[in-house]
Each structure stands twice: as C-alpha cells, then as structure tokens.
Chain A
Amino acid sequence: MNGKPTTPPRTRPASSGSPFTAPAWIAALSVVGLVSALLGDGVFDLVSWVVFTGLVGICAWAWIKRDRR
C-alpha cells in the first residue's frame, strides 16, 4: 500500500440496460393506476391507490437511499 487513503469508488457500477427501463415500467403502472379507478369501484379503486402510493414511495425511497458523499 502506498499510504494514500483508499477511496471507495464514487459510483456504483453502471446498471446494465437502458436508463429508460425503470421509467417505462413506472409510466406503464401509472397508466394502470389512472385507468383502474375509472373502470369500477372497490378493487379497481384499490389498484389505483396502490399504484400511486408506489410512485410516492419511490420518491421517498430515493431520498432515504440518497448518496451524501
């Protein structure tokens, strides 16, 4: 070792695949959420609530896992 402090790699390895994979899934789920409650009550409402709670949850998850370095 040459005495220099070892710094951790500053980014995680780049994820494989397109940066649009996750956004495409999110957009598709958003459409399901938007349409579902229109089609009926009860379980159709529930699907919409779950989808949109998921979207808010992803934002919260990104904030909790934020990289403070």
Chain B
Amino acid sequence: MQRAAIKAWFVVHKWTSLICTVFLLLLCLTGLPLIFAHEIGHLTGADPDVAPAPADATLRDLDAQVQTALQAFPGNVPLFVGWDPDAPTMYVNTGPRPDTPPPQMQTVLLNTVTGAQVPAPQFNEGVMYFLYRLHTDVFLGLPGMLFMGAMGLLFVVAIVSGLVLYGPFMRKQRFGTLRTGRSRRLAWLDLHNVLGVVTLGWALVVGLTGAINTLAKPLEQAWQSEQLGEFAARYAGQPRPTALSSLQAAVDTARAAAPGMRPAYVSFPGTGASGDHHYGVFMQGDTPLTERLYRPVLVDARDGSLTAQPQLPGYMTVLLLSQPLHFGDYGRLPLKILWALLDLLTIAVLVSGLYLWVKRGSTATRVAEIERAQTQDIA
C-alpha cells in the first residue's frame, strides 16, 4: 500500500477509535451484566419464579387483570400489558398519562390464572436498570441514545479502517503471530491485530445492530405515522377514546385473526405504539425468528372491531432483527456465555489500542512502522 494511503487510513483509524473508545469501554462493561439480565433477574428475585399453571387452567379475564393493576396504582391509566412466555405471569404497565415514558411507568406483575399480584421490584429501578440506562442513553433520553448510536457507527468505521491497516502489517507475518519477547509495544500491537481480526465479524454486527437499536423510537414513530396514516381519514377529528372497548375481546379478535400465533404484548391507544384509536396486539410465533418478528393486529379501541393486520415495513423488520443480534439472547445460555467472552476480547482490543496510542510517538513514525512491516520480515 502506498504511503499516502496508509497515512490516510491510519489517521481515520486513530481518530474514529479515539473518539469512541471511552464510550465503547462503557458499553462493553455495562453490556456484560446486561447479557445475563434474565438470569440475574431470577437470581435476585426481580424476575420471581412462579410455579407453572396446569395446562387446562382458565386464564383470568384481561379486563379484570387491568382493573387489579389500576387498584394498585389509583389514578393511573393502563399503557401496555405483556406475557412471560415461560411462566404464568403477565405485566401491566401503568402511568399517569397515556404517553408516560418507561422511566415513569409503574408496573404490576400478575398471575395469569389467579390474578394474584406477584411481588416484584419495578423494572425501572435498581442496579440492572441503572446499567441499562448507562448502556443505552446515559440518562439523557433520545439525544443520549442517538449519541451512543453515533459512537457505534464510529466503532464500525474504526473496525473497517483497522482491517485495512491489518493488511500491510501482516503481509509478511503468519496469521496469529504474537511476538511477546521483543518490545512491549510490538507485543501489544500483535495482540491488538490478532484479537481485533478474530472478533471483527462479531463486533461489526453487534456494533451496527446496537447503532440501529438506538433508532428504535424514531423508527417506531415513522412506522406509526406511515401505517396509521392510512386510516387517518376514518378517525379524522375524533379525540382519543376515553371509554375503551374490552381488552379481552381485542386479544380474542387478534388471536382469531392470527391463528397459530400468541400475543406477546398489547399497547393501549395513545402510548405511541399503536396510534390514538387502536389497541396494538403484537403477535409472535414460536421459532427464534418469528418470536421476534412481531405481527401487529390493530383493533379499534372504541368498538372492538378489527381494523388491520399491517405488514411490518422493511425498516421495522431490520430493527426487530437487530435486537437479538445485539443482545445475544437467541441461543440459550451457552450463546450468552460466548457473547460475554467476545465482549471481553473486544475490551482487550480497546485497551490494547489505547496502550498503542499512549505509546504512539508521531504519526510519521507509525506510518513508517506500517511501511516497514509490509516490506521487511521484522516489524
């Protein structure tokens, strides 16, 4: 590679890495426990273990469930209800306003059969929620989230430019070369190259899908205005209904409309997930893929009629697929453990990169180092 090209890629790699490294370290460190959020929740009781219900048990009426939840938080309105696929429990998110954001939501966990309230801490409190906020938006809401997304994109550019520089460095070396007996700098450089190139594909996907996940809110809004815009004429000038039709009937209607699927969660009108006039019943299948590619069924929240089963637009499919590919929660515990190991290796890449920057000398020295590596046997 020509000197000018090496220098350009080197500068790109240096600056994109430098800007994002401190945030990436934060993401890798907070992400580590978040990989095991489900397991940690069971250990700490945040996710209480509830004995499975008999297969023929009759589920309690959903409207009664919502009433039970509202009695726990008088004055609130229901926002979302959702089911645990592995236990006979459901949650009811409530809040003072229909558009209450997650940090202010108050949640009740209920037994789906008996309707008994299951004691559980609020999801938006505690250490794991603190780590989650640090990981997603550093407590700054959408701007923080978009900022973290930008850091994710810089990380992707750093990976690509790092791969370009890997070429001249390794031209005369075998794959996996790790020379620890010469200068300390060379040892760290080889380590950076080996670990960086092995984790490259995984890190690219986790970085890119993480950046996509930061767009969840704007994408959901775009989808709503596009999809629900189709029915806008029918509801033009109508205020959001205050007396809602039956939730149980809405879920029954959705089940009948999407046979073979089960409801994952339902959004109430005004929550920002299904417009102002509809229940959004989000149905899921039972394979790792169809479990995550929700199929929404929109049920009119005034008269309970089925309005539509819209196809998810491409960008929503990309968003929904980006979630498992970022979380690593789709291949049981062994995949989570491997996700954690790759996360640790990424931390090693970041730290070794930081070391190389601290011990850098001038850009000219570094460019000469790369030039030498591609022409000589010894770097």
Binding site for B on A (CB under 8 A): 10-12, 14-15, 18-23, 26-31, 33-34, 37-41, 44-45, 48-49, 52-53, 55-56, 58-59, 61-63, 65-69
Cβ of A11: which chain B residues have Cβ within 8 Å of it?
Answer: 172-173, 377-378
Cβ of B174: which chain A residues have Cβ within 8 Å of it?
Answer: 12, 14-15
Q: Which of B180, B198, B287 contacts A59 (CB 8 A)?
A: B198
Cβ of A31: which chain B residues have Cβ within 8 Å of it?
Answer: 201, 205
Complex CA gap A53/B377 in Å reads: 32
Q: Which of A27, A40, A52, A61 contacts B338 (CB 8 A)?
A: A52
Complex CA gap A14/B376 in Å reads: 10
Query: With contacts A30-B202, A40-B288, A56-B341 known, is A19 near B166, CB below 8 A?
Result: yes
Complex CA gap A68/B335 in Å reads: 33
Is B52 among interface residues, defined by CB-CB distance under 8 A? no
Q: Interface extent on B, as a size class?
A: 35 or more
Complex CA gap A40/B176 in Å reads: 33
Contact across chains for B330 and A67 when beta carbons are under 8 A apart: no
Enumerate the 6 nearest inter-chain pairs by beta-carbon distance, A residue then B residue, closest first. A30-B201, A37-B331, A19-B170, A52-B338, A22-B175, A66-B178
Query: With contacts A65-B176, A69-B181 known, is A52 near B342, CB below 8 A?
Result: yes
Cβ of B330: which chain A residues have Cβ within 8 Å of it?
Answer: 37-38
Cβ of A15: which chain B residues have Cβ within 8 Å of it?
Answer: 173-175
Cβ of B334: which chain A residues have Cβ within 8 Å of it?
Answer: 45, 49
Complex CA gap A29/B321 in Å reads: 19
Query: Which residues between 139 and 170 of chain B lie within 8 Å of chain A, taking CB atoms?
Result: 163, 166-167, 169-170
- Minimum distance in angstroms from A25 CB to a CB of chain B: 10
Contact across chains for A38 and B288 when beta carbons are under 8 A apart: yes
Query: With contacts A49-B334, A55-B342, A65-B176 known, is A26 near B171, CB below 8 A?
Result: no
Contact across chains for A34 and B325 when beta carbons are under 8 A apart: yes
Listed by A's residue number, 19 A-B pairs whose Cβ atoms lie within 8 Å are A14-B171, A19-B175, A20-B167, A23-B163, A23-B197, A23-B200, A26-B198, A26-B200, A27-B200, A28-B201, A30-B205, A31-B201, A33-B202, A38-B321, A39-B287, A39-B288, A49-B331, A55-B342, A66-B180
